[in-house]
Structure 1
């Protein structure tokens, strides 16, 4: 009988990182009954979103071989601190807590005999490699974005190190950038959007530098979607890359009554509704909200719009639902669109994208949202807003031809207001019924399901398991 092996997953804060981490843990314990997983969950001090109580309670019924531990919340004064500096301090301060927890875990293992086989760390938690080294076990990275983005960070880091360049040279040059993981040169504006400042750029490249110390990189993608990018990462200079996606939580709670959102969708014709949603951090100022509203009215399409209120200026926080959205919408908008549109706050995105009435998705292009949309065969109109979303949008539109664009200008400051005419054009394109993009997205949907169900991602996960149980 094989000896049980324990993997410790360390996930970055945020539901987008946690959901895909849980999904890969589920796949691992389902595939091999000798694998046990402990997931350590960090939570931002300003994150009060927790719809079903503690994470342990919410996920406890998933599997008896997956254990969840929420790390203590840390109070960090964020005043005058940029996001990159805050996140670095936040994760660094978790290291002694993680060390103590894993020490207790390994002590308890002496009785039941599971062996600590390694750490699987989120892409933004590379400082935890130091903790894994203390225990003498290998580290694997779980890269929650895509392979092209992974290649972007790794190749840019290699150029900086091998040619003794500072990333600021690229940020200030104004030149397009050719990288092996992309077929087309990246517009310079993509670079400055991914790296909003020099501090953030150095932080990202330091993560990439440490990726190379690990024993392997798990990526939430699949071979049929990103064959070019994945091939570029198999040059022997990068740890083994395992495409194991799409990792999505598609489970519906059938015992719960349908929300008024889903009831409204039930009354809409097939493929008739355009869905607008911009992620857990996505929100717009009032002037942009009004332009979106005008675009929706002018387009004449039925719509479902997740409209969130921005956090106060200068405060690191998540957007929230409006108490009354009328204050930021054009006068009479809700009355004029009552028959064809619905404006909501937080959105049950998976349930919405799965609904047959949804014909198009105006999205920020977060990678989880992208994979969900492709899984359900819903074309995307790209409106990237922050982080690597600019890379995702470029890949979808220019590299893979799986999306249309609303905005692809990659503005660093994000302050330019898009006009109703530009937005309306994107809506009309994504809702076109007989477009080549819609057909290609449908084909990709089938490929994504086959990849997990005995296909390329199923095999790739098997190769990773072979490393764990050696």
Structure 2
């Protein structure tokens, strides 16, 4: 008998690909055939990173790709332009891809298309072709709630028709039971330049128009973490956290850092990683380096090749020699394994959602340094709601200073209340994905629905 076949479509960013890759591996374990459809550009990156790890090209998952409509040399960090290109070009490519699959007598019928909701154009294609549809939300349910509330935010005169708040930094509650949030933390307001904010807001307006096409709505969070949101939107089923143990990276991991961690004392190492998008200027990069040195703690620092703007990272003079005995810099790390290592004391993080849930799952406290998008609201939850971390505060020039880094490291490592809270959050997180956990039950229910 043919295995039920699912087509999975991620948004082409590291933080979106990884949880959907993890979900795909879970579906394989439940007896599904999975086709994982990246953009051609990211497909090459993922396959190259898998190859460097010795992975068998995704294992039992069929890795496939269609064009995103961009030329090879075009800058895919121009998110607005890329989004427009994907919405204009990819529906045709997807319809052609599914058509070929359907006409292949050796291929089993697609039971469901699971797409990142930011790629909601895929819902339209699947509906047109009569295929059941699931939307996946890769970040927090609180962010999802703000997107689903968009029409009401406009109607209530919180934001105008372009998404701009009428009152700067106004505190709002999306429901009486949800924590307050600032209008400055609305995800589209945290996207850098004004034109980018407008492009992301327009995308959210666009995807809001596809809600009626969704048969199943699943989310990379868990009920106990954000209960008030799931009470507000009972049709959204939390199946997370999808903690990535599967391949799906865009960069080659340097796993030699794990043996370096083995040599460090328990709960001593600051793990420093800023995800796939954060960019620092030269001054901020130097202050971070000198702050880590000043802390006196061992540290493992992920320095992506493109972490600094305009040029390769240049460390302060003599820095590498001075920290040689206690500092390790790598270009990319096997983060889940690093965070779970007994030598890690805290996580200096950009507060991306995958990093947040990975830190919560192992009981590691956070030093928060958000860069854009949902990361500012995640920081607020980490520090103000769950109380498992501290915020780093910039000076009057917008720079987070070396002294601020040292001060907050000392405060965090000496804070027993935060330590207690991190252990409580670890318990809740791991319980949700245990055999009888809420997320496991939701995932099994979703699987039964798409199998039938």
Q: In angstroms, what is the RMSD of aligned CA positions?
A: 3.3
Aligned positions of 1:387-398 closer than 5 A = 387-398=373-384
Aligned positions of 1:362-373 closer than 5 A = 362-373=348-359
Please say if residues 118 and 203 of structure 2, whose CA atoms lie closer than 8 Å, have aligned partners that are also in contact: no
Query: Where does residue 423 of structure 2 map in the other structure?
Result: 442
Query: Structure 1 residues 295, 180: CA separation in 2 closer, same or farther (over 3 Å shift)?
Result: same
Distance in 1 between residues matched to 2:398 and 2:327, nearest whole Å: 26
Aligned positions of 1:311-322 closer than 5 A = 322=312
Among 230, 246, 250, which residue is 2:245 paired with?
A: 250
Distance in 1 between residues matched to 2:199 and 2:421, nearest whole Å: 39
SS in 1 for 2:411: helix
SS in 2 for 1:25: helix
Query: Where does residue 358 of structure 1 map in the other structure?
Result: 344
Query: Structure 1 residues 408, 440: CA separation in 2 closer, same or farther (over 3 Å shift)?
Result: farther
1:193 aligns with 2:174: no
Among 102, 108, 112, which residue is 1:106 paired with?
A: 102
Normalised TM-score (structure 2) = 0.86
Among 118, 127, 150, which residue is 2:144 paired with?
A: 150
Q: Deviations over 1:265-324 (max 9, x none)?
A: 11110000111110112231110012112222222112111223547869xxxxx9x4xx
Query: Structure 1 residues 42, 337: CA separation in 2 closer, same or farther (over 3 Å shift)?
Result: same
Query: Where does residue 308 of structure 1 map in the other structure?
Result: 304
Query: For structure 2, which runs of at least 5 residues remain unmatched after alignment?
Result: 248-252
1:452 aligns with 2:433: yes
Query: Where does residue 237 of structure 1 map in the other structure?
Result: none
Distance in 1 between residues matched to 2:265 and 2:225, nearest whole Å: 30
The structural deviation recorded for 1:143 is 0.7
Please say if residues 380 and 402 of structure 1, whose CA atoms lie closer than 8 Å, have aligned partners that are also in contact: yes
1:296 aligns with 2:292: yes
Query: Structure 1 residues 125, 408: CA separation in 2 closer, same or farther (over 3 Å shift)?
Result: farther
Distance in 1 between residues matched to 2:269 and 2:77, nearest whole Å: 41
Distance in 1 between residues matched to 2:361 and 2:209, nearest whole Å: 32
Shifted more, 400-409 versus 198-207: the winner is 400-409
Among 389, 398, 410, which residue is 1:428 paired with?
A: 410
The structural deviation recorded for 1:163 is 7.0
SS in 1 for 2:139: coil
Query: Structure 1 residues 23, 152: CA separation in 2 closer, same or farther (over 3 Å shift)?
Result: same
Query: Structure 1 residues 97, 225: CA separation in 2 closer, same or farther (over 3 Å shift)?
Result: same
Please say if residues 382 and 408 of structure 1, whose CA atoms lie closer than 8 Å, have aligned partners that are also in contact: no
The structural deviation recorded for 1:28 is 2.3
Query: Structure 1 residues 259, 468: CA separation in 2 closer, same or farther (over 3 Å shift)?
Result: closer
Among 401, 404, 412, which residue is 1:419 paired with?
A: 401
Query: Where does residue 447 of structure 2 map in the other structure?
Result: 465
Please say if residues 283 and 309 of structure 1, whose CA atoms lie closer than 8 Å, have aligned partners that are also in contact: no
Normalised TM-score (structure 1) = 0.83
Distance in 2 between residues matched to 1:451 and 1:231, nearest whole Å: 17
1:268 aligns with 2:264: yes
Query: Where does residue 219 of structure 2 map in the other structure?
Result: 219
Query: Where does residue 41 of structure 1 map in the other structure?
Result: 38
The structural deviation recorded for 1:178 is 2.2
Query: For structure 1, which runs of at least 5 residues remain unmatched after alignment?
Result: 235-239, 315-319
The structural deviation recorded for 1:452 is 1.6
Shifted more, 202-211 versus 135-144: the winner is 202-211
Query: Structure 1 residues 184, 99: CA separation in 2 closer, same or farther (over 3 Å shift)?
Result: same
Query: Where does residue 21 of structure 1 map in the other structure?
Result: 20
Aligned positions of 1:77-96 closer than 5 A = 78=74, 82-96=78-92
Query: Structure 1 residues 195, 184: CA separation in 2 closer, same or farther (over 3 Å shift)?
Result: farther
SS in 1 for 2:270: strand
1:374 aligns with 2:360: yes
SS in 2 for 1:140: strand
Distance in 2 between residues matched to 1:45 and 1:376, nearest whole Å: 29
Among 104, 121, 126, which residue is 1:127 paired with?
A: 121
Q: Deviations over 1:346-376 (max 9, x none)?
A: 2222221121111100000111111111122
SS in 2 for 1:308: coil
